[in-house]
Amino acid sequence: GDDFNYSEELDYTIIGIEPGAGITATTETAIDQEGGYESLAGWDLEQSSTVAMVTELESAIANEEPIIVTGWNPHWKFAQFPDLKYLDDPKGIYGGAENIQTLARLGFEEEHPEAYEIIDRFYWDVEDMEEIMYESNETGDDIHDVAQQWVEENEGKVSEWTEGVAEGDGSVIEIVSTPWDTERSSSSVLSIVLEEHGFDVDVTPVDPAIVFESLATGDADATVAAWLPFTHAGFYESVEDDIVDLGPNLEGAKIGLVVPGYMDIDSIEDLEP
């Protein structure tokens, strides 16, 4: 290859995250030669964990070596390494603007109208979520503790979700979530707000497939962890008729292939098979 061919140096490997993540399935689609990128023919996605991906990214950047990772926003790594960039995705496999969406089980609204109302109103900005994730990453404080602090400092926003809603009767609300910092932040904030409003809340982090399945079977009441319309589209479509869609709780998320700014490529199509 020429000077810009990183493919050999990268051993034709994209550094991925957990096997159950939506972005893992999306990246397999990008590599697949039926509908994916010709430039990724013969490439592999190394699946491990988010922690392992971040460790490899940090060490590549420390050594100014090339690396391609599966990445997403919001994430603190974009604050820590401001020159990270998304590779252009001309086929639109990673989608465009992504939302994080709230879903509930059928019947939840009728059984717990107050909790449903708060969960339905829950909506915040990318900056709110980032504030919690950055603070936790910098200080090492647990996300749940930082979320507690955020709730205390953002009374105005929180009261928009709870104003006029009758106090809960102590019933247990089962929130199903995923293990990533984005969803640990949102699920923590929501559970703290619900608990302050008289509910007893369980938050269960699972793989995205299980989030959708447990809502469809009625084992869980609600989630604020669905990435749509792209990242979790496959899971969503399989249960669409058996869940209630309450719309976005955050707008302006994104997923894709991410590289350090010193790499001289801009597009997935710049790679070589």
Provide the binding-site residues for ligand PBE, judged by CB under 6 A. Answer: 17, 21-23, 72, 178, 180, 182-183, 208, 227, 231, 255
- Minimum CB separation of residue 48 from ligand PBE in Å reads 13
Q: How far is the CB of 50 from ligand PBE (least distance, A)?
A: 7
Cα 216 to Cα 240: distance, rounded to the nearest angstrom: 8
CB of 208 to ligand PBE, least distance (A): 5
- With left for phi above 0 and alpha for psi between -120 and 50, is residue 122 left, alpha or beta? beta
Cβ at position 23, least distance to ligand PBE in Å: 3
Residue closer to ligand PBE, measured from CB, 17 or 87: 17
Name the burial class of residue 198, with classes exposed (0-12), middle (13-18) and buried (19+) by CB atoms within 10 angstroms of its CB.
middle
Nearer to ligand PBE, 168 or 208 (CB): 208
Least distance in angstroms from the C-beta of 155 to ligand PBE? 28
Closer to ligand PBE by CB, 190 or 255: give it: 255
Helix (H) or strand (E) holding 214: helix 208-217
For 109, 171, 219, 222, the CA distances from 204, given in Å and listed in that order, are 20, 16, 11, 11
Give me the residue label for tokens 């084992």: 219
**Whole-number Cα distances in Å, 43 to 21, 89, 172, 216:** 19, 16, 46, 35
As to burial, measured by CB atoms within 10 angstroms (0-12 exposed, 13-18 middle, 19+ buried), residue 156 is exposed
In the bound complex, what is the minimum distance in angstroms from residue 56's beta carbon to ligand PBE? 15
Report which residue's Cβ sits closest to ligand PBE. 22
Our CB check for ligand PBE shows the closer of 77 and 197 to be 77
d(CA 25, CA 153): 38
Instruction: Provide the token pair at 242.
Output: 């058996």
Considering the complex, what minimum distance in angstroms separates the CB of residue 218 from ligand PBE?
A: 22
Give 36's contacts (C-beta < 8 A, 6+ positions apart). 29, 30, 91, 93
Q: For residue 104, give the H/E element and its range.
A: strand 98-105
Closer residue to ligand PBE, CB minimum distance, 115 or 258: 258
Which residue lies nearer to ligand PBE by CB, 7 or 182?
182
What is the maximum span of the chain, computed from C-alpha positions, in angstroms?
Answer: 67
Q: How far is the CB of 164 from ligand PBE (least distance, A)?
A: 32
Between 23 and 104, CB nearer to ligand PBE: 23
Closer CB to ligand PBE, residue 47 or residue 182? 182
